[in-house]
A and B are shown apart, each in its own frame.
Chain A
């Protein structure tokens, strides 16, 4: 026996093949359709110069701006961004709890929970940038508009994650309390929240990491934070300044991610 081959016959299912062709073919067609809609106008003549200037900017970042401790300096803008992220995350974590309860099957029953889930999905779909624009119209430009925008938008994700945590909790404690005649608030604060609080805190921290990134773009529309100076620097092609802002942003977000990730690992 020299070249023995073990062949396992493959089952062929014609229906499966058709199904596959339809799936992958459809996907391919969709992609072709997508590609046809993106005109490639060629790289601008100035692109090479811009890239050179960009690289030069990153090699000589604007350190003066980093050392500027006044209200126009980089440290203030970064602190404001962090403040928006923290306050926005806190606001949303608090508001998310009632939304999550409304979306949890084991608390309000299957029918109401479907409505609750849909509301949460709707909130998630609404972009935070547009929320920020609306809040700027309502409360005026500045960081408070950013906090409100993050606070509302984050309900979409936190509400969903919180409700999943609540749905997978041990119902025994709740039933035990109810059988002793506890009122709904006692059940909430003595049975539901204590059980899910590690997950709630972990998800909130995770959302804080996301909100840190979001807060850095909110300034684009005037809702405070580092976004406004960054977009001005890019529009004016002040590359050394844009470079220092991006570098500091990357470093800050990385540090916050590391701290938050470590806490999350400890909690759950």
Chain B
């Protein structure tokens, strides 16, 4: 009788990858001093802080949260505006199908990459050191951060456009400006608007914590109360800003879905 032999699959590569991942994860946990037993023990002890924050929060403090919260929203709005406005032209030059010159695209992308590696919080603390505390520094940090975010997303969508329209216009003798105006921009504007909305959502979340380094908004109030160990007021700030951000997120993502 003939026997059918199915060759055993070679799992060496897969197993090596799994081994590497396990090594990385366990090594990281060990290096960072992650100890389950101790964390569990502290959890039971540490419930005290949560109780002081949320059981109950100092609701009488709520009216005082409104002004800094509005400042936070304004920061996010203005920061998104500047970021998006500067991102669009830069994205056009960074896309490799509009300017077909790698000596332009590549360095520009490299710079954009560097922008995106610096966290908003670090930018904010740098701007606070230069321009002083207050929402102005926060807006600057958010603008730079949004610029990095939106420009990358936008140049990627420019590269993904239907190139037929560009070719059609060029075959009619259209200039670069015409191509940009009538073939590229109309195709990417809905996506660009959607990215801007997304940037706004991210910025509202970021603006809420930027104040921790003195860049204005609700974070500054938060840091203040934390420093004075007024945990019940901290609880109010957390609860209220959480709901405001949640509502903005839900509304904005609904609008975004209708855009694209």
Contact = CB atoms under 8 A, between A and B. Distances in A.
B163 interface: no
Contacts of A37: 70-71, 74-75, 135
A189 interface: no
B198 interface: no
Which of A138, A214, A246 is the most central at the interface, judged by chain B CB atoms within 10 Å of its CB?
A138
Contacts of B28: 82-84, 86-87, 90
A39 B132 CA distance: 12
Which of A122, A124, A133 is the most central at the interface, judged by chain B CB atoms within 10 Å of its CB?
A133
A174 interface: no
Contacts of B59: none
The SS class assigned to the A binding surface is helix
Interface stretch (A14-22, A98-106, A249-257): A249-257
A125 B249 contact: yes
Interface stretch (B4-12, B29-37, B176-184): B29-37
B81 interface: yes
A139 B212 contact: no
Nearest to A216: B119
Interface stretch (A60-68, A108-116, A140-148, A163-171): A140-148
A172 interface: no
Contacts of A127: 205, 208-209
Interface string A33-67: 11111111101100100110010000000000000
Which of B35, B71, B122, B238 is the most central at the interface, judged by chain A CB atoms within 10 Å of its CB?
B122
Nearest to B35: A144
A86 B24 contact: yes
A264 interface: no
Interface string B33-49: 11100110011001101
Contacts of B134: 39, 41
Given A134-B53, A230-B122, 8 more contacts: A37-B71, A44-B131, A86-B28, A125-B246, A143-B33, A144-B39, A221-B212, A227-B121
| A-B pairs with lowest CB-CB distance, top 8 | A138-B46, A137-B49, A34-B77, A143-B32, A37-B74, A83-B28, A86-B28, A217-B121
14 contacts: A34-B77, A34-B78, A37-B70, A47-B130, A84-B32, A137-B50, A138-B43, A139-B43, A140-B46, A143-B34, A147-B32, A227-B121, A230-B122, A249-B122
